[in-house]
Structure 1
Amino acid sequence: MLYPINLELKDLQITIIGGGEVAYRKCKNFLDFDKNVKVVSLDFIDKFNELKDNIEIIRDTYKEEYIKESFIVVAATNNKETNKQIGIYCRDNGKLVNVVDDINLSNYTVPSYIRRGDLLISVSTGGKSPSLSSKIKKELSEKYDDSYEEYINLLGIARVNIIKKYENISQRKKMLNDLVNLTLEELREHIKSN
């Protein structure tokens, strides 16, 4: 069973081995979180050209030296044996690895997610049904639209104000819990009046 966790990627080295569609999608996911990535492959699909200013591209075959310093590795080649080698090396050396064609060699997966500023909602089926994850993600995207970015920011401002203003812990807790029942407009008004 997989354990859900959010990682701060800022100081972590990330390497993707592969230059195809799956590698591209994985790369885009990391870039969504402002993380530079090293991508190693002899051949790259054209889509990588739009990312070239934000990633390090190494045109070569897989070699251990490319992942030695990495904390997170994605094995996304079109060669099952190479992916297996990467998976085994990473597991033996305490690295997080996602082997795209072998969930049993992976020690992490990446859930489908929706990001609205600091609101991050993720959905996972443990690799059993990416289609179901995608369906649920679509449903959640409609419910939690782009306005939630502002909503979360306003909740953060209100929280800081309440913590500064009220010393009584139970009073704070009740007020903070009541805030999440406000609409966006009501929350805006609450911030203006406090």
Structure 2
Amino acid sequence: NSFPKVVAHGGLKPVLGTNPFAFGAPRRNGDHLLFDMATSALAGSTVREHMDKGKPLPEGLAVDAEGNPITDPAKVSAGALLPFGGAKGFGLSLLVELLAGVITGAGIGDGVASMYNDFSRNGDNGHFLMALDISRWMPMEDYFTRFEGLVAMLKASGENVLLPGEVRWDHWRDAAVNGVEVDAEKFAALNDRGS
């Protein structure tokens, strides 16, 4: 869980974090299925990127303190992000808060400090991890065969179908060969922090 910057569905005050939800599943070829998303309409890092570039946010993702839609990323800190998908996204965010905050004993709601702006106290954010042993249900080779059958079915449904993480695997392979491009401003900022 993370510090509050997302309103409850129908609410005005930020009460939940962007509360990321992620899962992964092994594939035979090594390009494992990897999925990671914020349960807010967009990730906090996206707000920061838009602010750095002076770009407005798309409409319908953030509100001011009175609940009015805003597109200025600089105003989000005084307002809030909306949960993605309305009530459904709010439900997933609440699930993350229960798993990562309530049952772990970590902070919940405003009991979680901002890791960007509040250094006066411990962040107290929580994490919940669960691993399943697939071989308890079936032999791994059967699992891989079934999973690759599912992937083939998905890919056959349209020429532009991409699995979660598929683009990132391509970027990772490219970066392993060609390196990672960092613009001069970010490079200077990293050097300043590192010295």
- Category of TM-score, reference length = shorter chain: under 0.3
TM-score by length of 1: 0.24
Of structures 1 and 2, the larger Rg is shown by 1
If each structure's strand is expressed as a fraction of its own residues, which one has the higher value? 1
If each structure's helix is expressed as a fraction of its own residues, which one has the higher value? 1
TM-score by length of 2: 0.24
